[in-house]
Structure 1
């Protein structure tokens, strides 16, 4: 959600929404959206069921977190608390779906981040992808170095087999950000076994339309912040590019062998230091094998 030239209609909607936020919500609404709701972490739980998930994966737990935007009204102490909450869930896998730092080259507490993220425990692995802010501010190498030091595997237009002890596996794919990166879904698919269950990490939700043509079964995304500030009867102030079609929550895309998409609302804020009707979110997924799609 880096600054981008907006169409006149989008600009007017944003301006009008901001006007209503300031004047309509008043001081109480300002305090709530600035101080209270950004700290009201919601934990949402979903089951991922599919016939191609091996039975040995039954009960495997995944935690997805996204869009921390460290440096913009989100600090390392808050990150420490987030790590504690994730570890309390006892996930087997952890996925981070982009935008770690708001402005990577301006953040002056870089060295404090890896010791915190290293504390995240996931016996089957920790994986991440790039968001637009991870590339912005000359941040591409900063982000990769941070995440690798923090024991995350960075997936950049590539795939990885997640295996159980019995040798059975699922395929995890990760692609680059669509705003500032060079996503290549075809490249990411090259080493993926055709008969495997395929789970895609993409910062941008709207990639799902393309991903559904590759017979990918599930996609996990972030980027939109769920609109971040939503005004009753108007909706979100600004939905960023590549989150216009799928801004929040669960979607089923396609009629035959549909792709399931979940869009996480993220943790932090950007552009405006508010959340209203868009609580920060951790998503917990539990894998199950099923005999029908």
Structure 2
């Protein structure tokens, strides 16, 4: 069982190690606090599988995650991110959790909603719950925001994404592992055999369970890529359910492998720093085989 860390322990270990090992002066502090958190990496990956219909060839999907609005990340930055996403002209938009750092304390929902609403994707906008979306009695706040802005909230359920020629894939979303109740069998219940299935799970480490089911890809966030990483040491502290798979691309299993991608997210939490863990947007392009 994953050992939970208190906020105090997290802060002490992370901040202390960060300053001590790096020996940060004013320049290093400025970079980690102001510069790197404002940078943006755009990663591009192809999603290939025999069950992907030929009509999905070239369909583009963008994932963003872990904005944590209200901590360090603000609406002005989020507005620029939304404009960038629209400029990339995705067919599908995915948000994989942790919209606001503390939903019940966030005071700018009336300004947030129009930004989310302007995100455009002809094949739909989809999202799942992260632990911060549930935290502080925020579950209904988050759901209402996302549904108001035409996101489909996937909570232990699936939905087909279908093109005009009848070709389809299935998108699944499960609840958060820390503060929710993820239920993969329920999410898979209505999916026909031999269909491409893509799972959204805020927690990447649930991929080990997902690999035991007929799921072909999993897309996650939660880890922030470690948020602060040191040479030869790696991430100082990573959250529960992101300790085995903290960042990037993985393959689990051999006979019917599951491919996992873990996005580093956009914002920060607990500590207002990023170091060697730039914010990330991920572009996925479907390829038929």
Deviation at 1:280, TM superposition (A): 0.0
User: 1:172 aligns to what?
Assistant: 171
Deviation at 1:25, TM superposition (A): 2.5
Tell me if 1:158 matches 2:157.
yes
Distance 2:146 2:115 in 1: 11
Distance 2:13 2:34 in 1: 24
User: 2:148 aligns to what?
Assistant: 149
Distance 1:101 1:143 in 2: 8
Deviation at 1:19, TM superposition (A): 3.7
User: 1:216 aligns to what?
Assistant: 215
Query: What is the Cα-based RMSD across aligned positions, in Å?
Result: 1.8
Distance 2:202 2:253 in 1: 20
Change over 3 Å in CA distance of 1:171–1:181 after alignment to 2: same
Deviation at 1:18, TM superposition (A): 3.0
Contact 2:18 2:228 in 1 (8 A): no
User: 1:262 aligns to what?
Assistant: 261
Distance 1:226 1:155 in 2: 24
Change over 3 Å in CA distance of 1:48–1:85 after alignment to 2: same
User: 1:127 aligns to what?
Assistant: 126
Contact 2:59 2:285 in 1 (8 A): yes
Contact 2:268 2:274 in 1 (8 A): yes
Distance 1:173 1:246 in 2: 20
Distance 1:12 1:68 in 2: 23
Q: Secondary structure at the match of 2:67?
A: coil
Deviation at 1:20, TM superposition (A): 2.1
Runs of 5+ consecutive residues of structure 2 not aligned to the other structure: none
Distance 1:15 1:45 in 2: 32
Matches within 5 A, 1:23-34: 24-34=23-33
Contact 1:17 1:231 in 2 (8 A): no
Tell me if 1:191 matches 2:190.
yes
Please give the TM-score of this superposition, normalised by the length of structure 1. Answer: 0.94
Please give the TM-score of this superposition, normalised by the length of structure 2. Answer: 0.95
Contact 1:92 1:122 in 2 (8 A): yes
Change over 3 Å in CA distance of 1:149–1:107 after alignment to 2: same
User: 1:18 aligns to what?
Assistant: 18
Distance 1:267 1:90 in 2: 19
Contact 1:176 1:184 in 2 (8 A): yes
Change over 3 Å in CA distance of 1:99–1:18 after alignment to 2: same
Runs of 5+ consecutive residues of structure 1 not aligned to the other structure: none
Q: Secondary structure at the match of 1:114?
A: helix
Contact 1:34 1:274 in 2 (8 A): yes
Deviation at 1:11, TM superposition (A): 8.5
Contact 2:94 2:126 in 1 (8 A): yes
